Amino acid sequence: MTRVVVGMSGGVDSSVAAALLKEQGYDVVGVMLRLWSEPSTVDDDGVELVAENKCCSLEAVGDARRVAAALDIPFYVINVEQPFQREIVDFFYEEYRAGRTPNPCLRCNRHIRFTLLLERALALGADYLATGHYVRLDDDPLTGLRRLRMAADRSKDQSYVLHVLSQEQLRHALFPLGAYTKPEVRTMAAERGLPVASKAESQEICFVAGNDYRGFMRRYADATGREAPQSGPILDESGARIGAHDGLAYYTVGQRKGLGVSAPQPLHVLRLDTERNALVVGPAARLERAEFTVRETTWTSGSAPSEPFAALVKTRYKATPAPATVTPLEGGRALVRCDTPLRAITPGQAAVFYGGPDSDETLGGGLIESERASQAASA
């Protein structure tokens, strides 16, 4: 019997994924990862912030155990707190300190779930690691390469955060929910009597207490002896100082609220100038960009294309894919030229490329670079 390890979170998606695989005849083993969480503390208003990672809280562990018992499958909890802190939490902090806006889920899928957890799954004699992500997998009929495709339910598609997976990782991956909608998954959970059928899903950053990342930045700097974000000037596009910011890490491109400056027209964050520790603001029209570069590119096929190619590009998890031309560059970078300018291209976020006959195949992607880096690459 083929063994598959299911990464369980105590939520409805991973629970139904485990149930479907059990019904399909797999030897299913449930595994939850114990991740790092910051120590208990209080926020600026004196409210206690409980030290629990939402992905592996006591409630989540209890729910996952109950589901595993209902399905009659083994269940284990594996401690990966230290590598999670090193690979995800430290990265999260340093990216914000560098004036970028990271996506920790994307990095967690690459370095924790489909590296550490996959390694544990293979060590347990499993052939596959399965998760409750909404994506589809198949093989290219011409090349035989594994293809990562958007979910049937585009509103739940999670290919954006899985585009970093290699051919080897995809060969050992199963995503049972890719053909279903979220309402269908909840119905299947209820039909099977799973105790999490109506459980709400969290959209928060799992390791940030109270979903307050600004407070987390201050607390983590104090706890680890890192340099905290420093205040600096808010500049208009002419370079004139019009206010002061609390630290670049507390802002992101496109932000309008919370700037603390007044002007005849609404102002938005245009860029974070780390060299001058300055926040540059301007009108919404100045947020549009037709060209940018990405770094740390990954290609689902395993190798970079040799020529520029047309693609649909997503620059945020919930963004609508937009037509563009992608040109691979040296050093693991790529130049993206959009057919129509896009708004709020944010350094640190991923740009993911899609193509193929149905335009739902994930081709690869990379992390968006600053405007200055993009200008240097295209010069």
Q: Pick the catalytic residue: 55, 56, 108, 338?
A: 108
Question: 29 in helix, strand or coil?
Answer: strand
Q: Is 105 a catalytic residue?
A: no
Tokens of 224: 């680890």
Cβ burial, residue 60 (10 Å; 0-12/13-18/19+): buried
Which ranges of the chain would DSSP assign to H, the alpha helix?
Answer: 12-23, 58-71, 81-84, 90-97, 104-108, 118-123, 167-171, 182-191, 213-224, 371-378
Tokens of 343: 């708004």
CB atoms within 10 A of CB 154: 13
Q: Which DSSP string corresponds to 267-324? A: -EEEEEETTTTEEEEE-GGGGEEEEEEEEEEEETTSS--SS-EEEEEESSTTPPPEEE
Q: Is 338 a catalytic residue?
A: no
Q: Pick the catalytic residue: 55, 56, 206, 338?
A: 206
Name 164's Cβ contacts closer than 8 Å, sequence gap at least 6.
Answer: 106, 109, 110, 298, 365
DSSP state of 161: G
H or E element: which one contains 325?
A: strand 322-329
d(CA 254, CA 267): 9
Catalytically active residues are 108, 206
